[in-house]
A and B are shown apart, each in its own frame.
Chain A
Amino acid sequence: MPRHASRRAILGGALTVSIAAALAGSALAQGAGDPIRKIVIITDTQGAMPQAYQAGQLIAQEWRKLGLDVEARPMARQAQTDLVWFNRDKWDTTMWRMVGRPERSDPDEMTFNLFHSSTAPRGFNFVGYNSPDYDKVAEQQRQTLDPTARQALIKQAQEIVNRDAPYAFLLHPNTLQAFNQNVFDPASIVVQKGVGIRNFWTFIGAAPKGAQKAMIINSGTALQAIHPLYIAGAPDSWMNELIWDRLVRIGPDGLPRPWAAESFKFVDDKTVDIVIRGDMKFHDGKPVTIDDVIFSYEAPLKTDKSPMFKPFVTDIDRIEKTGDRSLRMHLKRANAAFATTALGRVFIVPRHVWEPHLKSLEGKPDTLEAIRDPANVGSGPFKQVRARLNEEIVIERHAEHWAAPKVDRVVLRVIPNAEAVVGMLRSGEINLLSEYGGDPDVLDKLAKDNAAIKLTQVTDVGIEFLAFNNRRPPFDDVAFRNALSAAIDRNVIVQAAWNGYAVRSVSHVSPAIEFWHARDVKAPPTGLDVAKSILDKAGYKVEGGKLRYPAGKKEALQPPG
């Protein structure tokens, strides 16, 4: 048992330290504070997210070995968010995740929103991490337009987070998807970094091989709204971005590229010149004009009738029409991620449909979000045929689009039963598996037994992590957080919870976005021995099998009820 031996060696070392401390005048009996209360790890339920549930159980098993009393407490999603998000000082630790989205290919959101102190009271920094050093770097990277300089700042941010351990980063899951290669030419299926094959480029590029010209995909949850000014669930957004075009789209490489804009150019830090394409038409046959584009940006900018899209345009000061196909945006402040977070988010909507609605709402509390355009007129490569939100959405190719898709239609089926999804993929009832929450091995076996099914796997932009509540002792102590993070055996979690379909995570920037991921930021050393020695150095002692605070520290808190 070499592992045992090494633990003893470290313990020996630790013992020397404590003897030294005792010699320095503090007797061992006084050398410890109160025993640490029971620690609760909130996890997802087994039914909702078996992987995270399993990970929580595994972490609890490790932490108990440190002398902590640990409860892994599964909670329904709703109850979990209610506690973690709206009662920020009432929990200890929780399993949590940031899911991968195309716009998260720019590291700004993960860097700024997750850890900047300004978002701690109500925003995404729900752990309450507060570091002036970090704030400075997070702000700077946003202002730095030069990619190389920004890359260095993003790396610095990763290093600080790594040192301070506001989270215990666990892993980036691998997204598993599949398609039927008898139906689609495999060469035409595009794998987008960090997102997988269910992406814009596959939808417009997939080439049918035979008579089946419809792409049939699946979603586990019902949709909420097909609406260009309303942000709902993930499957809603897959459909929205096919029906409405954007000035810029995120390419398969994760970088923004001009789309409805023929070009966009930063004249200086705060001025962007944009030229739009001249060959665009809405689904009702009317041309897309520069006025439509300006309207689309000014609706959230100048009115409060499109609140969900307002955050995307907050950097814009004003928009100036400079020609029949060109405009200039004047920004309030420089923003390195502007192309991704603003130009890549706002949908171009037909002014002739939405302006009358906007006028009719003047002086009323309602917003455009509650208004429906039953035809859902956009200018994207697909147009809506029908939308039965509980059942299926059918969109068909917009033949007059300059990048018209190769498939005739895309059908999104709502299938809550993961077992049925596999059956449907096998039988051809769906031909592109766009979302899969089930057991990876089942899918793997299906692909092995069935030559038509091709499995794809990409590392996600998203992260799975264990969040420490930085506000609550003992998690307000960097050493304690580091020790608990070190005690987690991530390899076991990758294997035993994610069946090996994940990569270990060292920071908030996924290796999926290669340019920003700092390859040389190494994970701090892990292992129970490491954890014990960190604790010991910081003054935490085990007495009677229970881990205690450093000398003089009282336990003032109760475990969450």
Chain B
Amino acid sequence: MTDASQTRLARPGASRLWSAARSILRDPFAVAALAIYLALTLMAIFADELRTHDPTQILFRANGRVAANQPPGEAFLLGTTNLGRDIYSQLIAGSRNALMVGVTAAISVAAIGTLVGLLAGYFGGRVDAFLMRLADVALAIPFLPFVIVLSGFLRANTWNVVIAVALLLWPNTARVIRAQVLTLKGRAYVEAARVTGASDMRILFVHVAPNILPLTFLYGSVAIGWAILTEAAVSFVGFGDPSRISWGFMLQDAFVSQALSRGSWNWFLPPGLAIIAVVIAGFLLARGAEEVLFPKLRS
């Protein structure tokens, strides 16, 4: 696939994007990934219509007792938690958080990474040296400990996860895009643009940038997964945002409430499966492009 994309990259601009989109639609894995994203988006948009209860409300049974540990059934589609919340409604509500965190993280990583990669690759010299030193520093900071420290000292907040993802995960994107820009710089159509007197900015954003957009999207989609997984890990360790229903929050809740000892698989499995589905979608889109997972190997 790498070979193929190299040759395709030669074509400039919009046609390149279009052909990338077409090749994605031919890959059944990629179609599955898009279907997952679509389902997640619809779930998040229509969360209020889809859910059957308020996900944070304590529910009571007809006899006035809290509806705790109810099995899945008609009243509660996936049953209730040990404190009487509806699991299905929490699952639905969690999709909003997943979408929000995932998309913001993806946009930040892709935007920072692309910008840095473009500038470093195109201008080279000191700009390149400086930006790549910055990337080295970011890569030398252990990721999960950084998120934990950030969440532990600032008020526990989902945005800390997004900030950490944005601050530390852009270098991978930047390096790959920089390498790509280096090869593009010498291409005929870029040279041609330069000869006609186009400004640097114009060359960079009109002639070069569209050609690396597919890579940007690829990295963005993987970042969605990282952000959601990180949020879950941070929640599990106890530094999650306590006022927001996320899948990580649900899993941590199930864990500390000993859902497994009680055999409440209806509580423990769904959020985990939901996370897997969304994260795997990013991987499927990036399938085959292993430098997405590990760019350093290919430099």
Check A-B contact in the complex, CB < 8 A.
yes
Q: With A419-B255, A422-B261 as given contacts, are A439 and B82 in contact (CB-CB < 8 Å)?
A: yes
Are A74 and B242 in contact (CB-based, < 8 A)?
Answer: yes
Judge if A358 is at the interface, Cβ distance under 8 Å. Answer: no
Are A57 and B238 in contact (CB-based, < 8 A)?
Answer: no
- Find chain B residues with CB under 8 A from A50 CB: 82-83, 253, 256-257
| A49-73 contacts to B (CB < 8 Å) | 50, 53-54, 57-58, 61, 73
A76 to B82, CA, bound (A): 21
- Find chain A residues with CB under 8 A from B257 CB: 50, 438-439
Are B58 and A496 in contact (CB-based, < 8 A)?
Answer: yes
Are B58 and A47 in contact (CB-based, < 8 A)?
Answer: no
Q: With A419-B260, A439-B262, A442-B262 as given contacts, are A74 and B243 in contact (CB-CB < 8 Å)?
A: yes
- Find chain B residues with CB under 8 A from A53 CB: 242
Contact of A46 among B69, B155, B253 (CB under 8 A): B253
A45 to B157, CA, bound (A): 12
Judge if A495 is at the interface, Cβ distance under 8 Å. Answer: yes
Judge if B56 is at the interface, Cβ distance under 8 Å. Answer: yes
| B241-299 contacts to A (CB < 8 Å) | 242-243, 249, 252-253, 255-258, 260-262
- Find chain B residues with CB under 8 A from A250 CB: none
Judge if A75 is at the interface, Cβ distance under 8 Å. Answer: yes
For residue A453, give the distance in angstroms from its CB to the closest CB of chain B. 13
A419 to B261, CA, bound (A): 7
Judge if B156 is at the interface, Cβ distance under 8 Å. Answer: yes
Are B156 and A58 in contact (CB-based, < 8 A)?
Answer: no
For residue A220, give the distance in angstroms from its CB to the closest CB of chain B. 11
Are B66 and A47 in contact (CB-based, < 8 A)?
Answer: no
Contact of B156 among A79, A437, A446, A492 (CB under 8 A): A79
Judge if A441 is at the interface, Cβ distance under 8 Å. Answer: yes
Q: With A75-B242, A496-B84 as given contacts, are A47 and B260 in contact (CB-CB < 8 Å)?
A: no
Judge if A360 is at the interface, Cβ distance under 8 Å. Answer: no
Are A58 and B155 in contact (CB-based, < 8 A)?
Answer: no
Are A442 and B242 in contact (CB-based, < 8 A)?
Answer: no
A180 to B100, CA, bound (A): 49
Contact of B256 among A57, A76, A438 (CB under 8 A): A438
Judge if B240 is at the interface, Cβ distance under 8 Å. Answer: yes
Encode contact with B along A79-110: 1 for CB under 8 Å, 0 otherwise. Answer: 10000000000000000000000000000000
Are B156 and A496 in contact (CB-based, < 8 A)?
Answer: no
* Interface residue tally on A, bucketed by range: 20 to 34
Judge if A538 is at the interface, Cβ distance under 8 Å. Answer: no
Judge if B239 is at the interface, Cβ distance under 8 Å. Answer: yes
- Find chain A residues with CB under 8 A from B65 CB: 495-496
Judge if A497 is at the interface, Cβ distance under 8 Å. Answer: yes
Are B258 and A57 in contact (CB-based, < 8 A)?
Answer: no
B67 and chain A: residue at smallest CB distance? A496
Q: With A74-B242, A75-B242, A439-B82 as given contacts, are A58 and B58 in contact (CB-CB < 8 Å)?
A: yes
Judge if B12 is at the interface, Cβ distance under 8 Å. Answer: no
| B114-143 contacts to A (CB < 8 Å) | none
- Find chain A residues with CB under 8 A from B258 CB: 418-419, 422, 438-439, 442
Contact of A45 among B68, B83, B238 (CB under 8 A): B238
Judge if A78 is at the interface, Cβ distance under 8 Å. Answer: yes
For residue A389, give the distance in angstroms from its CB to the closest CB of chain B. 19
Q: Which of A46, A423, A437, A497 has the most CB of B within 10 A?
A: A46
- Find chain B residues with CB under 8 A from A20 CB: none
Are A61 and B58 in contact (CB-based, < 8 A)?
Answer: yes
* Interface residue tally on B, bucketed by range: 20 to 34
Q: Which of B152, B235, B252, B258 has the most CB of A within 10 A?
A: B258
Q: Which of A45, A54, A58, A76 has the most CB of B within 10 A?
A: A45
Q: With A418-B258, A496-B66 as given contacts, are A76 and B239 in contact (CB-CB < 8 Å)?
A: yes
Contact of B253 among A47, A75, A492 (CB under 8 A): A47
Q: Which of B82, B84, B256 has the most CB of A within 10 A?
A: B256
A75 and chain B: residue at smallest CB distance? B242
Are A54 and B242 in contact (CB-based, < 8 A)?
Answer: no
Encode contact with B along A384-426: 1 for CB under 8 Å, 0 otherwise. Answer: 0000000000000000000000000000000000110011000
A53 to B65, CA, bound (A): 18
A323 to B260, CA, bound (A): 62
A437 to B257, CA, bound (A): 9
For residue B294, give the distance in angstroms from its CB to the closest CB of chain A. 32
A422 to B155, CA, bound (A): 32
- Find chain B residues with CB under 8 A from A21 CB: none
Encode contact with A along B62-89: 1 for CB under 8 Å, 0 otherwise. Answer: 0001101100000000000011100000
A439 to B260, CA, bound (A): 11
For residue A405, give the distance in angstroms from its CB to the closest CB of chain B. 32
For residue A13, give the distance in angstroms from its CB to the closest CB of chain B. 27
For residue A484, give the distance in angstroms from its CB to the closest CB of chain B. 19
Are A54 and B83 in contact (CB-based, < 8 A)?
Answer: yes
Are B240 and A497 in contact (CB-based, < 8 A)?
Answer: no
For residue B56, give the distance in angstroms from its CB to the closest CB of chain A. 7
For residue A48, give the distance in angstroms from its CB to the closest CB of chain B. 6
A45 and chain B: residue at smallest CB distance? B242
Are A496 and B83 in contact (CB-based, < 8 A)?
Answer: yes
A469 to B293, CA, bound (A): 52
For residue B158, give the distance in angstroms from its CB to the closest CB of chain A. 13
For residue B153, give the distance in angstroms from its CB to the closest CB of chain A. 8
A51 and chain B: residue at smallest CB distance? B83
A58 and chain B: residue at smallest CB distance? B58
B153 and chain A: residue at smallest CB distance? A78
- Find chain B residues with CB under 8 A from A496 CB: 58, 65-66, 68, 83-84
Are B155 and A79 in contact (CB-based, < 8 A)?
Answer: yes
A138 to B237, CA, bound (A): 42
For residue A437, give the distance in angstroms from its CB to the closest CB of chain B. 8
For residue A239, give the distance in angstroms from its CB to the closest CB of chain B. 25
Encode contact with A along B201-224: 1 for CB under 8 Å, 0 otherwise. Answer: 000000000000000000000000
- Find chain B residues with CB under 8 A from A54 CB: 58, 83
- Find chain B residues with CB under 8 A from A75 CB: 155-156, 242
Q: With A419-B255, A495-B66 as given contacts, are A46 and B242 in contact (CB-CB < 8 Å)?
A: yes
A83 and chain B: residue at smallest CB distance? B155
- Find chain B residues with CB under 8 A from A492 CB: 66
Are A418 and B243 in contact (CB-based, < 8 A)?
Answer: no
Contact of B240 among A47, A58, A419 (CB under 8 A): A47
For residue B112, give the distance in angstroms from its CB to the closest CB of chain A. 28
For residue B261, give the distance in angstroms from its CB to the closest CB of chain A. 5
Encode contact with A along B83-98: 1 for CB under 8 Å, 0 otherwise. Answer: 1100000000000000
For residue A319, give the distance in angstroms from its CB to the closest CB of chain B. 45
Are B252 and A73 in contact (CB-based, < 8 A)?
Answer: no
Give 3 closest A-B pairs by Cβ, nearest first.
A74-B242, A45-B242, A496-B66
Could you show 16 A-B contacts with beta carbons less than 8 Å apart? A45-B240, A46-B242, A47-B252, A50-B82, A50-B253, A76-B238, A79-B156, A418-B258, A419-B255, A419-B258, A423-B261, A437-B256, A439-B257, A496-B65, A496-B66, A496-B68
Give me 12 other A-B pairs in contact (C-beta within 8 A), A74-B242, A423-B261, A441-B262 excluded: A45-B156, A46-B242, A50-B82, A75-B242, A79-B155, A418-B256, A418-B258, A419-B261, A442-B258, A442-B261, A496-B65, A496-B66
